[in-house]
Amino acid sequence: MGAATDGKTSPLIALLGGGIAGGIEAACTYPFEFAKTRVQLYGHQGVKNPFVVVTKVVKDEGIRALYKGCSTMIVGSIGKDAVRFLAFDSIRLLFEDPTTHTLTPSQSILSGMLAGILSSTAIVTPSERIKTALIDDAKTTRRFHSPWHCILSLYREQGLRRALYAGYITTTLKQIGTTGFRLGSYSIIKDFERARGVDVDGPVASFANGAVAGTVTTLATQPFDTVKTKAQQAREVGTLEALRVVLKEDGVFRGLWRGTVMRLGRTVVAGGILFTANEQAVKVLKTVIGK
């Protein structure tokens, strides 16, 4: 991403750098993701603090339950961020000014949105579906022994489309918004700072800019994430049914922005980690395998 602004990052380095960053980010922030998913599936129940949810899960179900679905998310995040960083870097080259290597705000967001469609179709929807089903199963029937067993069970019961692509529309809409706002706003911030002589390539600047981008992303895309999670639970639930249930349980604002505090806690940290890890990974990779 950062290196993409000089127009010289190879597709291989963009792919590897994004994958490394995605894996690190997912491993570091998974407890927040787990807490957010639980709240979206079963309601607030008076709890908004992610640390309270995490503590209760550890106390009632054991620490292993807290990481149910973590391996699926790590693998999915590696693939997701590899694809979307590569796609974003490739797409933005089509729009950027060849002299300044910058984009207009609308071009940055559009590049991110297109990258979001690609990543949702190739990686995000299947990995999110299995992760959510595993988290749901950990609290209910506890019948899935592993991610692979979950996939096979859902395939036998619901068919391939429902097993891997339940919630595809809302996931894709979320990814269009998430990738558009996250990568787009990060690119806008960096271009703005660079034009004013600010050093944007250090880890501190990368973390701060990524955290801001993560905050904007969360607030803008939370309704899609909430409905997507409800539609991807272990039992078969359609997107419209999921939306009706969420609105019936908590109303429009409280329902659609269910889990915002917990997701915000994750995405602010995750945004900082993701972009910092990507920037540093790209630098290391360039020294090891060249541009």
* Chain position carrying tokens 């990814």: 175
pLDDT at 152: 94
Q: What pTM was computed for the model?
A: 0.59
Write down the pLDDT at residue 6.
Answer: 47
Which CA distances in Å does 122 have to 8, 14, 118, 193, 227? Answer: 25, 17, 6, 33, 20
pLDDT at position 106: 82
Report the C-alpha gap between 191 and 198 in whole angstroms. Answer: 10
| Radius of gyration for the chain, computed over Cα atoms and rounded to the nearest angstrom | 19
Confidence (pLDDT) at 107:
84
pLDDT value of position 153: 93
Q: How far apart are CA 11 and CA 6, in angstroms?
A: 13
Per-residue pLDDT in tens (0 to 9) along the chain, 291 residues: 444 444 466 778 888 888 888 888 888 888 878 877 777 777 656 566 667 777 888 888 888 877 877 888 788 878 877 887 788 888 888 888 778 777 787 888 888 888 888 888 988 899 889 988 888 888 778 889 888 999 999 999 999 988 899 889 888 988 887 777 777 788 888 888 888 887 777 788 888 888 888 788 888 888 888 888 888 877 777 888 888 888 888 888 888 887 777 777 777 777 788 888 888 888 888 888 865
pLDDT the model gives residue 60 = 84
Q: What's residue 290's pLDDT?
A: 65
Go through the domains of the chain in sequence order and give each one's CATH number.
Answer: 3-289 (1.50.40.10)
Classify residue 160 by burial, with Cβ atoms within 10 Å: 0-12, 13-18, 19+. Answer: exposed
Token pair 């009632």 in the structure block, residue: 60
The count of other CB atoms within 10 Å of the CB of residue 135 is 29
The residue type of 239 is T
pLDDT recorded at residue 151: 93
